[in-house]
Structure 1
């Protein structure tokens, strides 16, 4: 019984604060809000990706968290400690315990790899050497300590920049498009190495990018940003499969849009009836589907396949173009019902000639319905 009492959870035990907590962050330039009421939290060891198009406020948010840009409002906390707030409190970058990585590796050309990694380290020389050796081993650059940056490849320079940023053991790592300068062959491997090292260090990571593939590959959570606001937050799976609006869906992939009018919670389309509850009677709606979720079938003397509950009613179209992209083929169709163009993707090689008549069906469980 005594043992059970000792192991019982303590309800008064405090839950540690998030590693990074941002609330109500604002910044305006020339009277225009670049960042407006932005709020997010990141736990230790978590990778959050701030994703959005150029000019949406991503990098400005990063600079305010780093302390190189003064916010107009809001609060930034690291491990519960206030870095800046509306009362005028503002800690400089060197007092925040953050690491920074940018597209420009910014290695010191006159210093060796080991000297670059050790640049921000204090303590005695033996301790510095141990930390440098540990990091070079983690990034698979053992034996490179005496080399200079110009002797390294782009991928190797990126790994050295990562080691230098991690050397002081920052509580938060801020990364602004850090992989965009690498060619495609190197990028995936460097991303994976970087993610592995950051996870091992238990660092909270805020990664800024405009590339959806990078966000899906690296993030535990994605914060989709548009016009200075976070419009949706969630896991990569949820962001991709339950987009908040048409623009969110389109940011991750090409989309097809079927337009209609909701009447009695139903919208009639050439692909059959779609349930559209929650939309105003007589209101315009857009039914969105990605190219990979359109199903193609053959023409049978002017008839298509039979309707099914999952795929709905088939609609006929004529091929206008087909392209082979390696892993998949994209086929464009001009639809009989309104002359619109819909695009379907097919794994592997599928290259029907222009003018070929085929039928399309829409996977009901893969459609999104939004107000027009």
Structure 2
């Protein structure tokens, strides 16, 4: 590859990414709300910007859409520069579709006029395109109705059809499903994803819900404090988190501590391998509730230690709840009084005060230097 300006050119036989963001930075009052964000998205690929409110997700989206301006960085679409700190293609010239949480339908326009808003060309061609899209989102029979006559899910379908009408190369979506009834959300998300992939659009979706990101994304960019702290396939972020906070973002986690000595950390659950850390380092050992194994108390004794599960530690049940697909049991541990959570498939509801023994799968633990 050859360096052209600040961008590496692609070999002739390898197309440029549909969307490429380089070192995007945006400051407000001297504080970097978006801090050196870089990412690429291919046609038909869905990338989720995931993080807590205020981490810079929506600001990143607005800069790419052209409704906000970065202080540093560049944006390319199909290898062509659309924005840096001097040059800027206006929003309407970027071939980028937008979908927002409130759908932003025009209340005084019919469904057909909402979908056709902004389309250019002959009236008959526009009507045909509107009809085709409404049929794809199963809204043909609502073509002459108005937004106030539709349910939330129906409005979302109309908003999707309107965003797809001009055949955008890139689709930006800011929490588009958060206003929907939970019973409808999964089905509408799946329908939306299918249509966007079929259209070949590169999709950048903003969400604060890990479940939504895991369900929809080909890759997740986890944001914190304006920066992308980890990016990759959902499986990799879940199973190889970069730090304790990243592990805890995707599910509840249990934490026990220890101090490294000779590449091992001794705990009430036995010794854990902690190579690469100097002696004396305080570490957090992280594991998810589903990776705790529960065994019965046998007159004050638990199961025998094993290489896979280590040494059992005793706890007393504080609370047990059935959550539908699983049961969540909270234990007060004998060794230091901390509470650990275990999830068990189906129904398992031991009474409070019941002593049980817990072991931890070694291959499902994460070790990080202790926080604080």
Structure 2: distance between partners of 1:137 and 1:366: 47
Structure 2: distance between partners of 1:235 and 1:204: 16
Q: CA deviation at 1:85?
A: 1.1
> 2:24 maps to which residue?
25
Structure 1: distance between partners of 2:220 and 2:271: 33
Structure 1: distance between partners of 2:110 and 2:338: 60
Partner of 2:319: helix, strand, or coil? strand
Correspondence 1:244-263 to 2 at 5 A: 244-263=242-261
Partner of 1:24: helix, strand, or coil? strand
> 1:76 maps to which residue?
75
> 2:212 maps to which residue?
214
> 2:46 maps to which residue?
47
> 1:16 maps to which residue?
15
- CA shift digits 1:105-163 (9 cap, x unpaired): 11111211111101111011121122111111111112221111111110010010000
When the two structures are superposed, what TM-score results if normalisation uses the length of structure 2? 0.95
Q: Structure 1 151/32 Cα, relative in aligned 2: closer, same or farther at 3 Å?
A: same
Q: CA deviation at 1:12?
A: 6.7
**2:301 is the alignment partner of 1:303:** yes
Q: Structure 1 202/301 Cα, relative in aligned 2: closer, same or farther at 3 Å?
A: same
Over aligned residue pairs, what C-alpha RMSD do you find?
1.1
Structure 2: distance between partners of 1:99 and 1:64: 13
Structure 1: distance between partners of 2:26 and 2:106: 32
Aligned mate of 1:337, from 331, 335, 353:
335
Partner of 1:143: helix, strand, or coil? helix
When the two structures are superposed, what TM-score results if normalisation uses the length of structure 1? 0.95
Partner of 2:15: helix, strand, or coil? coil
Q: Structure 1 12/339 Cα, relative in aligned 2: closer, same or farther at 3 Å?
A: closer
Structure 1: distance between partners of 2:137 and 2:310: 52
Q: CA deviation at 1:224?
A: 0.3
Q: Structure 1 106/322 Cα, relative in aligned 2: closer, same or farther at 3 Å?
A: same
Q: CA deviation at 1:312?
A: 1.0
**2:139 is the alignment partner of 1:103:** no
Q: Structure 1 12/297 Cα, relative in aligned 2: closer, same or farther at 3 Å?
A: closer
> 1:158 maps to which residue?
156
- CA shift digits 1:241-261 (9 cap, x unpaired): 110000000000000001000
Aligned mate of 2:368, from 364, 367, 370:
370
Partner of 1:37: helix, strand, or coil? strand
Between 324-333 and 163-172, report the one with greater CA deviation: 324-333
Q: Which runs of 5+ in 1 are unaligned?
A: 1-10
**Misfit runs of 4+, over 2 Å:** 11-14
Partner of 1:311: helix, strand, or coil? coil
> 1:196 maps to which residue?
194
Q: CA deviation at 1:17?
A: 0.6
**2:145 is the alignment partner of 1:147:** yes
> 2:292 maps to which residue?
294
Correspondence 1:106-117 to 2 at 5 A: 106-117=104-115
Q: CA deviation at 1:96?
A: 0.7
Aligned mate of 2:125, from 124, 127, 134:
127
What is the total number of aligned residue pairs between the two structures? Answer: 361
- CA shift digits 1:323-357 (9 cap, x unpaired): 12111111111111111110101111111111100
Structure 2: distance between partners of 1:17 and 1:370: 37
Structure 1: distance between partners of 2:365 and 2:92: 49
Between 242-251 and 306-315, report the one with greater CA deviation: 306-315
